[in-house]
Structure 1
Amino acid sequence: MITNEGPVSRENRPENAHVVRFYDDDAVLMDEVAGFIAQALQVGGVGLVIATPAHEAELRRQLGKDAGHSAQHLVFLDAQVTLECFMVDGWPDEQAFRRVIRQAAAPAIARGAVLHAFGEMVALLCAEGRYGAAIRLEQMWNALSDEMQFSLFCAYPWQLFPNTELAEQFEQVCAQHSHACTHAPAGRIHDVKGKPLRLVGLERKALTVDAEVARRKDLEQALRQREQELADFVENAAEGLHRVGPDGTILWANKAELQMLGYRWEEYVGHPIADFHVDAPVIEQILETLGAGGTLYDQPARLRCKDGSVKHVLINSNGLFEHGKLRYTRCFTRDATAHHERDEALAQRERMLDELTAANRTKDEFLAMLGHELRNPLSPIVTALQLMRLRGTPGAERERAIIERQVDHLVRLVDDLMDVARATRGQIELKFEHVDIAQPLAKAVEMASLLLEQRGHRMEVDIEPGLRWEGDPMRLAQVVSNLLTNAARYTPHGGRIALRGRSDGPGWLCISVTDNGIGLAEDMLTQVFDLFFQGKRGVDRSEGGLGIGLALVKNIVELHGGVVQARSAGAGQGSEFVVRLPLRSAGASSEPAAALGVAPAFAQRRIMIVDDNVDAAETLGLLLEAHGHVVEVFNDPAAALDAVQRLQPDLAVLDIGLPDMDGCELAVRLRRLLGAHPCRLVALSGYGQEADRERSAAAGFARHLVKPITPDEVARLAGDA
């Protein structure tokens, strides 16, 4: 209830007042609200405060200065909590609202006392951008006056209406109120007489104008800042920039342009651009293209520097036209001297490679002839030594042993020499043996020991004991010795080199050579295995080598069915070369047939093989038959289904990627036809990801083998059935 006349009797109580206050100072607002609530309390009425926690605390402090008030005279509600009691889907529900307010105003209603209410719920809705809901809530307060008598004080921060875009919402808020308030000197509520809402509107417009003026000042300041930043950007850019007039005169240039060519401003700007181009036809073409409205991208050119040198540059440029006439061209000049030199170096490298290729072809032919010629005298020497051993000629045993060792070494040297030619033709042959892996690795260390000692390196060897391997031990020794030699050459004197050999999962062997040498750049990690590729060398060529060692390593490892990989964290970070080999090389299956004729290690099984690859199916069948099993091979799923009840297999090896019907579907049908007969299913696939294994397991397969399978896997295939 708004008044400046002091206490008002119930008989003289005025009509309900709905007051709005727009504010930007919390302290002023709290003084006004405290005075407004105090008016009701002074006449024995009730004050209802629906406020935010901060405002509630301040009002409690101010109103508590006088004698304490009971809960029946002063009621506090949290604005957000109260709001949530009657909001439905983001919109105020009138019935729920009436229940909430009736309950809060019950003390005043019961006694017919004066009720002054302060509410911030509408401000909370506006703060969330829900102006329509706030206006609806104001309307519901007005409608509530039909059944209750009260005075309501609503407060909105001015910041909720910051611009003209919210003018309509502001007008709608004002339209729901009967009074507007300002702050009186005594801290009491003062009712603006005459046209109060119009004055509030003028105040809002004034605030909006102030905000707009401040915004424009900020924009002007930001624009000036951006202009300064742009000027700084072009003037101090790392790339050369210049502007040229329609007549070809240089109008402006930045620092990078001047520094790149070595001129002062007055020596460059104001002069014809053509004066600085080495090639007159090039600048003529550039100016003609730009004058016609064209754009240049990475246009190569040569510019004359002040010191007489020539810069290779790339020019990007286009023109600014007004009314169809060229005003000026804007040009970006990039120093491409290093790029040009690199291109020249690459072209020279290509010419060198062409020459090396020709020389290499001649070298291969020479080495092949040299190897043949060296073998001619070696053959009778070896034969003579064998004759001496057969005849048992006494005496000179020590000398003969020396000759035999050196002849063996010479034979190996000739073989190594021939490998250079064989590697380029893919003609290296392997001699398979079953050995402890420590044997060839020890041989490799022996072969590289002289260079390791000469370079003063510390050698660490860690070999898993009892690790058996089938392959060519001499070739493996050659592989590892080449890796050790490579590490020794590219590791500074007194470095650390480590050789490790270990098993690496079922059926695999891993050998690694690690050093703390000069390391490898990322782009060299694959090139390093190219024939004749060599890393960076010192002037004294202390690293040595012909650039064929790692290419031979890759060739020999792949012949064994393995892979080799180079790893390095970068230049100066050392290197690691990792060789991964199957414990039994694929080529070992070409051993004499007697190896396949051994008695089966397991009970005889009836085996069905289904694979549309005829050669793969037949060879797998032959290997299993060599182990004593009864095998039938099918290349078509339908034929396998027709024969399954006759064969009654103990084991079925099924290719997953079959035509018409995949292996998983075939497995389901086989299970159905075999009924209670036990048959173990093995999946054979070119895919071995976890998802592929899960799919085959779900289809009932006991194992999932990935092609190609090793001979050891074939031998174990039926034994587990």
Structure 2
Amino acid sequence: MNTETQTALREEPSEARHVVRFYRDEVVLLAEVAEFLDRGLRGGGTAIVIATAEHRGALRQQLMGLGSLKGQRGWFPGELVMLDAADALAGFMVEDWPDEQRFDQVIGKLVRQAAAAGKPVHAFGEMVALLCEQGLYDAAVRLEQLWNALRRECRFALFCAYPWQLFPTDQQAADFHRICCEHDHVYPHGGDGAAAEQDVSVRLALLEHRNHVLEGEVARAREAERTLRQRERELADFIENAAEGLHRVGPDGIILWANKAELALLGYRWEEYVGHHIARFHADRAVIEDILQRLQAGGTLHDQPARLRCKDGSIRHVVISTNACFDDGRLRYTRCFTRDATERHLLEQAHREREALVAELSRSNQAKDEFLAMLAHELRNPLAPISAAAQLLAVAGGDPERVRQASAVIGRQVGHMKGLIDDLLDVARVTRGLVTLARHPVDLRDAVADAVEQAAPQIQARRHRLVLDMGSMPAMISGDRKRIIQAIANLVANAAKFTPDGGEIALRLSVTAEHVTLAVADSGIGMEPELATRIFDLFVQGRRGPDRTQGGLGIGLALARSLVQSHGGSLAVRSDGTGKGSTFTVCLPRVGGGAAAEPPPAMPGKEPPGHAQPGRALHIVVVDDNRDAADSLAGLLAARGHAASAVYSSAAALEAAAVACPQVFLLDIGLPDIDGIALAGRLRAMPGAGAAVLVAVTGYGQERDRESTRAAGFHHHLVKPVDTGELFDLLARL
């Protein structure tokens, strides 16, 4: 049925009918309404329009056009009344329901007044349509009933209009039928209803409604299909081109699908990735097996760390979020989201390294504090007898025996302090790679013998049993004999320090084609595994009692390891725990040859202490800004028969050289006015001082310090505190 056909409602003005029109096209509707109103107006009657503002304006324009037709009067003689449908409804609606009394005041009074003149009254209303738009279908039916009640009081024609879209589905069919039943006639499709009976027109309207519903459903289905296809395309585009890597895995672990981001992340083409087992791309098989097992059990994973193998062979750190899709309790597939976690991995690694560094710094700081406490203890120990001996010399100067004993005490304790300082300097130089090794063939058996001889007093004092198993084969290495002996002596001294009285210390040497191995084992206090991992760190020591009877600064083992490593070897420790002893194992590269090791060349200008022949007395000047140091050294030299004096500045030294130049200058380097290096240059330039022997006496003893003094013209370099035997031998040679 064509609902768009424009057909006039042909009814005589005398007829008073209540009709309803359902429409799709507003243009057709307004043309019909305008003709309906025009018939009433041209008959001198009243036309009442209760419509929307848009429809009122359109009807006014059309009625003006109808009134100006050729051969007709310029305007209609009747009265046109126009009301706003929404305002009229507001005048009589109470809580979404038409109030009968208010309706009579707003609408009934107006219609009765128009009908009282006996002229035609044609009314057009859209108030019911507005109610239906709000879903108030019952209220619309009630309003139609109020109109019918008003028609029983007075004669008028009423034209109602409803858009078809107000009844889009079968759910509104009952409301549609009730509305139709409240009218004298129904114009469902614009046809001439004059020849049709009411029941036929209602049936036609219902069929028209049904047809309209079906057409709407078909249109909605087509629109839904178009929407569905569009959404499918959008979803496919969203997934395929998402920035996040996505893939789907079957219950057998085969990859069923992957998006572009997933393939780009790992560098594979579609056919190289899809259709293959997921485990093939995981670097850690245990991880993917655990993931698949958890998914089979229905688990959900969030940010699971994993390592995936890229096409170029590199390993990429990722996190995977995944869950499973089940159908009737059976796994169909898993949904997997893959995100690049390289930066996250690097941050976590950096955090772990930072935490480890902080822990290490904390341990080092604690070790430093312990070291400072031990250093103070170790330095105070010799200072106490030195102080007591000095006081003894002051009160017992006339007793030669007591003076000799005090001097011996001071000498021993100064030697001990010098040893501590030498150890500190050694470990600093060795760990920084500043020590130059004088390599020569060395039989490690001889080095062990010398090292044991150095540690013999400590071993004998604690009554240790010493077991030596050196074997019969030469154990040849290439090394600095002095440094190798120093490393082994530190190990033996460490064993003696931490082995109780009467314990056992065993040294066993073994030789293979490639290596020489020395094991230093003891039956001492042993160590816990945690200590074993850091026992070679600087300033770390084993458990010590409050009395600190073992002594030391915790640098012996660190120095030993550095020395062994500088020879291309290794030093390791093993202990079965506290109270079960320890074993330190030195492994060094072996060199060929079975002959005895050649002794290292003697240092030029050096002789063993005490072997130089005594010489004549020398004129010596000691230059040091430390008055006590200068006076004591000059006094010692004078006691040995030399003409020695002390000055305390470079200027005084230059003055002494100008007056009566001495044969020997003992110069401190760190002088405040002119340093010892510059002073040496000035002395060399003075007439009569060129032949003087310059001896540097300084606290700086590294090789670069010795090179500096040689370059400045010094003949000899002595390190404070001066070894008096070495000094006397030097002077005797002069």
TM-score (ref. length: structure 2): 0.45
Name the larger-Rg structure: 2
TM-score (ref. length: structure 1): 0.46
